[in-house]
C-alpha cells in the first residue's frame, strides 16, 4: 500500500522544469539526420563544422553538432558496449569530438528508449547507464533520445514516461557519481503522449510533432500544434518543433523546397516560439540567403533571452471568422514579452498576399494609451511609431517580426479624433455610461 501511494505521489507532482544546471537556454546547432540520413562520416561532418565556423554560425550561437542516427555499428560488442563505426570514424569518435571542440562546437549523441534506433542501430533500453559511460568517454555532452522499437508492455511495464525516466535517472546517477555536469537530455517522442506536460521533469526539450518536411504544409501544421502548446516552454524546458529546413535539403533548391519568404517565416516562428534552433540542412555550399536567415541576430537574441524564457502566444487563432485554426491555417497574430521589447509575429498563412491588421491592445503585453516604436527584425530598421494599430501587407506564407517599445503616452485623443479607447466595448464614462465607438 505504501509503495503504491509513493508511486502516485511521484507521478502527481507538479511539472517543474529540470533545473539541473544545464539547458536553461535553448540548444542551437546542426543535426546530421535531415541533411544526410545515415550517409555521413568524419570528413563530411567536419565539412559542416568548418562551414558553421566560416559562415559565422558558431559565433551566432550554433555551437553543437548532433550525430543523429547511425553513428555506431549495428551490433554491440560481446560485453554489451556500443561500438563506433570504423568506416565512419577512422580516427575514432573521441578524435572527432576533440576536433570539433577545438572549433568551439560541442558533440551530441543520439539513441533510443527501445531495442533499436529508428534506423535499426542499437537502442539503449536496458543499457542506459553503460551507454551513458560510453558517450561520455567519446566526448558527448547532449543526448537526443528517440522512441522507436520499444519492447512489449509485459517487458517494460512502463509507459513512454517511464522509459524516458530510466535514462533521466541514469543521467542523474552518473552526474552524482562522477561529480560532473549532467548530460543534456532531448526527448524525441513526437508529441504522442503530451510530452509538454511531463517532458520538463525529465529533459530539457521534447518534440511536439513528427518529422518536419521541407515544405510549407509541414511547417504550417507544426506551427498550429505549437499554438496550443506554447505555454509549456520556459527556462530549462522547451517544446522542440524539430530541425530548421532553411537551406540545401539535398532536394535541388538552395532554400530547400521553401520560398525565401517561407524560410523567413519558418525561422521567425521557431525562434520566437522558443524551439531549439537545430539546422537540418547541408551547409557546405550555403547561400547568402540561408546564412542571412539562420544568422538573424535580432531573432536569435530573443530565442536566447537570458531573462525571459516564455514563448510568444497567439492573440487570434486561425483566419476563419470564429478564429478557429487548422493545420493549414494556423494562428496568424502572436505576441509576447522579451528583454528587448514586446515581440509580435504576424503570419500570412494564405497562398496569396494578404493585408494584415491588428490593434496593439489585442496583445496582453501592450499598455493602452501609449505610442510604441516599431523595429522590424527582418529589415533591421526602426520604422517610426505605431498609434493604436498596425497594418501591413505580407506576401504568401510571409511573416513580420516586430519589436515594439513604449514611446510614452499617445497624444491627446481629442486632437487626433481617436476613439477614447481601443477596446471600446468595455469602456465607460466616469458616470457609468458605456462609451460606444
Scanning 74-82, 116-124, 322-330, 391-399 for contacts with ligand GLA by CB under 6 A, the matching segment is: 116-124
Residue facing ligand GLA at closest CB distance: 118
User: Is 28 an interacting residue with respect to ligand GLA (CB under 6 A)?
Assistant: no
349-373 burial, b for 16+ CB within 10 Å, e for fewer? bbeeebebebebbebebbeeebbbb
Instruction: For residue 211, state whether it binds ligand GLA (rule: CB under 6 A).
Output: yes
Catalytic pick among 31, 68, 69, 146: 146
Do 324 and 318 meet the contact criterion of CB atoms below 8 Å apart?
yes
Binds ligand GLA by CB under 6 A, chosen from 53, 99, 119, 427: 119
Q: How is residue 120 written as a grid cell?
A: 535499426
- One character per residue 333-372, x = contact with ligand GLA (rule: CB under 6 A): ----------------------------------------
Question: Grid coordinates representing 346?
Answer: 504576424
The three grid cell numbers given for residue 162, joined into one nine-digit string? 517511464
Q: How far is the CB of 197 from ligand GLA (least distance, A)?
A: 20
Return the residues of window 229-288 that contact ligand GLA according to CB under 6 A: none
# of chain residues touching ligand GLA (CB under 6 A) = 9
Among 49, 105, 107, 118, binds ligand GLA (CB under 6 A): 118
Please give the order of strands across the beta sheet that includes 184-187.
238-240, 205-207, 184-187, 140-146, 106-112, 64-66, 28-31, 277-279
Least distance CB 227 / ligand GLA (angstroms): 21
Q: How far is CA 189 from the centre of its chain?
A: 14
Q: Which of 209, 198, 258, 263 is nearest to 232 (CA)?
A: 198
Q: Cell 485623443 maps to which residue?
A: 413
Kindly state the cell numbers that stand for 297: 541576430
Which of 18, 29, 33, 291 touches ligand GLA (CB under 6 A)? 33
CA dihedral of 154, 157, 162, 167, whole degrees rounded to 10: -60
In angstroms, rounded to a whole number, what is the distance separating the alpha carbons of residues 207 and 266? Answer: 16
* Cell numbers found for residue 117: 534506433
Least distance (Å) between residue 68 CB and ligand GLA = 5
Residue with Cβ nearer ligand GLA (33 or 378): 33
Contact 210, 222 (CB under 8 A): no
Q: What's the min distance (Å) between Cβ of 67 and ligand GLA?
A: 11
- Taking CB under 6 A as the rule, does residue 189 contact ligand GLA? no
- Determine if 146 is a binding residue for ligand GLA (CB under 6 A): yes
> Binding pattern to ligand GLA, positions 40-69, x when CB under 6 A?
----------------------------xx
**282 catalytically annotated:** no
Does 85 qualify as catalytic in the annotation? no
> 208 or 311: whose CB is closer to ligand GLA?
208
Ramachandran angles phi, psi of 316, nearest 5°: -145, 140
Closest CB to ligand GLA among residues 33, 315: 33
d(C-alpha 90, C-alpha 95), whole Å: 9
The catalytic site residues sit at: 146, 211
Residues of this chain that bind ligand GLA (CB under 6 A): 33, 68-69, 117-119, 146, 188, 211
Amino acid at each position: 500500500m505504501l509503495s503504491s501511494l509513493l508511486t502516485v505521489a511521484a507521478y502527481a507532482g507538479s511539472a517543474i522544469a529540470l533545473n539541473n544546471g544545464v539547458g536553461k537556454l535553448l540548444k542551437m546547432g546542426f543535426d546530421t539526420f535531415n541533411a544526410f540520413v545515415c550517409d555521413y562520416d568524419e570528413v563530411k561532418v567536419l565539412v559542416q563544422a568548418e562551414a558553421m565556423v566560416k559562415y559565422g554560425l558558431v559565433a551566432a550561437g550554433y555551437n553543437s553538432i548532433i550525430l543523429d542516427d547511425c553513428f555506431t555499428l549495428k551490433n554491440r560488442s560481446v560485453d554489451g558496449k556500443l561500438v563506433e563505426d570504423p568506416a565512419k570514424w577512422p580516427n575514432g569518435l573521441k578524435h572527432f569530438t576533440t576536433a570539433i571542440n577545438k572549433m568551439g562546437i560541442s558533440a551530441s549523441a543520439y539513441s533510443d528508449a527501445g531495442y533499436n534506433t529508428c534506423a535499426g542501430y542499437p537502442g539503449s533500453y536496458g543499457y542506459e547507464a553503460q551507454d551513458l559511460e560510453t558517450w561520455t568517454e567519446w566526448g558527448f555532452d547532449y543526448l537526443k533520445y528517440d522512441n522507436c522499437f520499444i519492447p512489449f508492455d509485459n517487458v517494460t511495464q512502463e509507459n513512454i514516461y517511464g522509459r524516458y525516466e530510466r535514462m533521466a535517472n541514469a543521467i542523474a546517477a552518473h552526474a552524482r557519481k562522477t561529480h560532473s555536469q549532467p548530460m543534456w537530455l532531448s526527448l524525441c517522442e513526437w508529441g504522442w503522449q503530451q510530452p509538454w506536460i511531463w517532458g520538463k521533469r525529465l529533459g530539457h526539450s521534447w518534440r511536439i510533432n513528427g518529422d518536419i518536411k521541407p515544405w510549407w504544409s509541414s511547417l504550417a501544421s507544426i506551427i498550429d500544434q505549437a499554438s496550443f502548446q506554447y505555454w509549456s516552454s520556459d527556462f530549462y524546458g522547451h517544446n522542440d518543433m524539430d530541425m530548421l529546413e532553411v537551406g540545401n535539403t539535398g532536394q535541388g533548391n538552395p532554400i530547400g523546397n521553401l520560398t525565401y519568404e517561407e524560410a523567413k517565416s519558418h525561422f521567425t516562428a521557431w525562434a520566437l516560439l522558443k524551439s531549439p534552433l537545430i539546422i537540418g540542412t547541408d551547409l557546405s555550399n550555403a547561400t547568402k540567403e540561408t546564412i542571412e536567415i539562420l544568422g538573424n541576430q535580432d531573432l536569435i537574441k530573443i530565442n536566447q533571452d537570458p531573462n525571459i524564457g516564455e514563448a510568444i502566444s497567439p492573440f487570434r487563432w486561425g483566419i476563419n471568422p470564429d478564429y478557429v485554426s487548422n493545420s493549414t491555417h494556423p494562428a496568424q497574430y502572436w505576441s509576447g514579452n522579451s528583454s528587448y521589447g514586446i515581440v509580435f509575429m504576424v503570419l500570412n498563412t494564405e497562398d496569396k498576399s494578404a493585408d494584415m491588421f491588428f490593434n496593439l491592445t489585442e496583445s496582453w503585453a501592450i499598455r493602452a494609451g501609449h505610442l510604441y516604436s516599431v523595429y522590424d527584425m527582418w529589415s533591421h530598421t526602426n520604422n517610426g511609431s505605431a498609434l493604436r494599430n498596425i497594418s501591413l501587407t505580407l506576401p504568401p506564407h510571409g511573416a513580420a517580426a516586430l519589436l515594439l517599445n513604449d514611446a510614452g503616452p499617445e497624444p491627446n485623443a481629442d486632437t487626433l479624433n481617436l476613439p477614447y479607447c481601443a477596446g471600446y466595448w468595455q469602456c465607460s464614462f466616469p458616470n457609468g455610461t458605456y462609451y460606444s465607438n
